[in-house]
């Protein structure tokens, strides 16, 4: 597509076309087939509970998600349990009840393995009739759910856990920004909270518990990262800015409760002698570079990978230089490597999750948008119901590999479209200079993220002798909207070290 043709179309339309093409090029399915839509047409009602499930509809359940989210996978609620202990419940949408294994819709979900979120369009793993309606935990709707129950001590430690099947009802659909502003004393209580008796106190209890859980996790080796990612800001259909995504207290509630729920479900499957699909981040292969990078900040790490020592450094680095802390966070994240799915079987322990400091961890809390979670849900329901394992050993191993590969393809689609959006914004700024940090250095190329606006691109000139974590000054050479390529060259001068 030529620049002239691009100028004749609005940005959202350009990005939509790029996203569809990227999906196809990566082997992902942007559309549902006629057979899948015919199967969907036969599904008219949400799943109905049988007489054996728990009735938890009266609890003050609420969802907290992005402002524009419509696929609601989980609800949360807290209950004071005495002696400073708190019972946390996480309700997870029962997607398996309407999407049986090996159905046409299941095969589509298995192919893509995830919903793909781009600035212009979302490619849902399941049709929106399901993911945003019949299998979504929508406001004031009774829904079947898998419920993880966790007893949390005063110090944030997980004391007990269990899982049950129940019917639940969402009393308030809430958004991260509004809840966080209220919790942090920066905004008024959202009206949807005030409308539900007791919900305000319940959310405050959830917030206090999540903060204690977070502190406990990090004391035991979970890593504290803070990165800056740019999200396109649209005015109508045009990209007018790239705004950093900022984490907040409401997101902490969901993150810590989901981590706990995932761990509780992994523990139950293990106790039942069931296999599982674990989410792992292996011991970092480039630990030596992490050691060198941390040394540039004046800290010493042991020569063997140690998450507690790394976490101690991260806490000190953030306190010392909060402005530049996202830079070192990003560099270390890149060096840790990406997560993957691994089939775990009784008697054969899978690797743990280095970044979370957990031995047993999986994905289970987003079955509307992530296929490994749907696999886990089927395993869990079989274990709870005393049924046979629904997946064979070879099948589970093949699914673990496929989910890892397809997730990587989906992430590349998302990054490509995000970079195309960034290129739309930057294409009028060719020749400008920016400060940045090296985020990748390998045979296939060297990558740099500039600070303002927060955009990553390829360093095509002057990459000799630099490595991940180095701060450099670059000039913008090219912004290719169609391919999502953003190219920089390094400005002459010595690389900057952290001091």
CA distance 170 to 90: 12
- How far is Cα 273 from Cα 214, in angstroms, rounded to an integer? 29
Q: Distance of CA 422 to CAs 277, 366, 435, 458, Å? A: 35, 29, 17, 13
Q: Is the peptide bond before 152 cis (omega within 30 degrees of 0)?
A: no
Contact 127, 134 (CB under 8 A): no
Task: Please count the helices (runs of H) and the strands (runs of E) in the chain.
Answer: 14, 18
Domain boundaries defined on the chain = 3-281+338-418, 430-499
Q: Which two tokens stand for residue 241?
A: 């800015």
Looking at residue 496, its pLDDT comes to 53
The pLDDT value recorded for residue 374 is 98
> How much is the pTM?
0.87
CATH of domain 430-499: 2.40.50.140
- Rounded to the nearest angstrom, the gap between the alpha carbon of residue 363 and the centroid of all alpha carbons in its chain is 10
| Residue 73: per-residue pLDDT | 96
**Measured distance CA(227)–CA(470) in Å, rounded:** 16
Closest CA to 161 of 360, 402, 367: 360
Task: Give me the pLDDT at residue 5, please.
Answer: 40
What the block records as the tokens of 409 is 């393809």
CA torsion 339→342→345→350, rounded to 10°?
-40
Q: Which residue has tokens 């009784």?
A: 346
Residue 120 has what DSSP assignment? S
Conformational region of residue 167, where left means phi above 0, alpha means psi within -120 to 50, and beta covers everything else: beta
Quick one: DSSP state of residue 345?
Answer: B
3-state secondary structure of 284: coil
Which region, left, alpha or beta, applies to residue 242 given φ > 0 means left and ψ of -120 to 50 means alpha?
A: beta
**Strands 229-235 and 238-245, sheet pairing:** antiparallel
The residues of the chain scoring below 70 in pLDDT are 1-9, 228, 323, 357, 493-499
User: Are the CB atoms for 29 and 116 separated by under 8 Å?
Assistant: no
449 close to 330: Cβ distance less than 8 angstroms? yes
**Tokens for 401?**
């590999």
Which residues in 94-171 belong to E strands, given as ranges?
A: 116-117, 122-123, 142-152, 158-169
User: How many residues make up the chain in this entry?
Assistant: 499
């Amino acid at each position: 597509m030529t620049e002239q043709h691009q100028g004749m179309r609005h940005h959202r339309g350009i990005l939509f076309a790029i996203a569809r093409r990227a999906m196809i090029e990566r082997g992902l399915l942007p559309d549902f087939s006629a057979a899948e839509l015919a199967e969907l047409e036969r599904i008219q009602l949400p799943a109905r509970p049988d007489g054996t499930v728990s009735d938890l509809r009266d609890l003050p359940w609420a969802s907290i998600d992005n402002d524009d989210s419509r696929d609601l996978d989980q609800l949360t609620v807290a209950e004071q349990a005495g002696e400073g202990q708190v019972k946390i419940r996480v309700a997870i949408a029962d997607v398996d009840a309407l999407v049986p294994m090996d159905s046409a819709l299941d095969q589509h979900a298995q192919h893509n393995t995830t919903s793909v979120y781009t600035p212009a369009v979302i490619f849902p793993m399941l049709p929106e009739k399901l993911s945003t309606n019949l299998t979504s935990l929508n406001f004031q709707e009774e829904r079947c759910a898998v419920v993880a129950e966790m007893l949390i001590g005063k110090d944030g430690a997980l004391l007990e856990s269990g899982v049950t099947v129940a019917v639940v009802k969402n009393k308030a659909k809430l958004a991260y920004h509004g809840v966080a502003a209220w919790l942090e004393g920066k905004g008024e209580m959202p009206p949807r909270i005030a409308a539900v008796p007791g919900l305000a106190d319940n959310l405050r209890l959830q917030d206090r518990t999540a903060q204690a859980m977070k502190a406990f996790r990090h004391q035991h080796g979970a890593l504290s990262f803070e990165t800056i990612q740019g999200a396109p800001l649209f005015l109508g259909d045009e990209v007018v800015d790239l705004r950093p995504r900022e984490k907040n207290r409401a997101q902490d509630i969901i993150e810590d409760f989901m981590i706990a729920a995932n761990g509780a479900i992994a523990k139950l499957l293990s106790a039942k002698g069931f296999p599982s699909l674990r989410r792992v981040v292996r011991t970092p292969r480039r630990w030596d570079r992490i050691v060198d990078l941390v040394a540039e900040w004046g800290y010493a790490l042991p020569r063997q990978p140690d998450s507690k020592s790394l976490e101690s450094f991260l806490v000190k680095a953030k306190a010392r230089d909060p402005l530049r802390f996202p830079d070192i966070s990003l560099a270390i994240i890149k060096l840790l490597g990406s997560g993957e799915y691994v089939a775990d079987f009784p008697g054969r322990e899978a690797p743990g999750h280095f970044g979370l400091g957990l031995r047993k961890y999986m994905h289970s809390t987003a079955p509307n948008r992530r296929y490994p979670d749907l696999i886990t849900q089927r395993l869990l329901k079989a274990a709870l119901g005393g049924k046979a394992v629904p997946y064979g050993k070879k099948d589970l191993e093949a699914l673990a590999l496929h989910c890892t590969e397809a997730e990587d393809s989906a992430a590349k689609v998302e990054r490509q479209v995000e970079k195309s959006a960034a290129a739309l914004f930057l294409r009028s700024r060719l020749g400008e200079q920016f400060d940045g940090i090296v985020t990748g250095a390998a045979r296939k190329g060297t990558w740099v993220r500039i600070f303002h606006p927060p955009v990553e691109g390829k360093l095509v000139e002057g990459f000799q002798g630099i490595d991940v974590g180095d701060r450099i000054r670059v000039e913008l050479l090219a912004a290719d909207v169609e391919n999502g390529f953003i190219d920089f060259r390094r400005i002459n001068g010595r690389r900057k070290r952290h001091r």
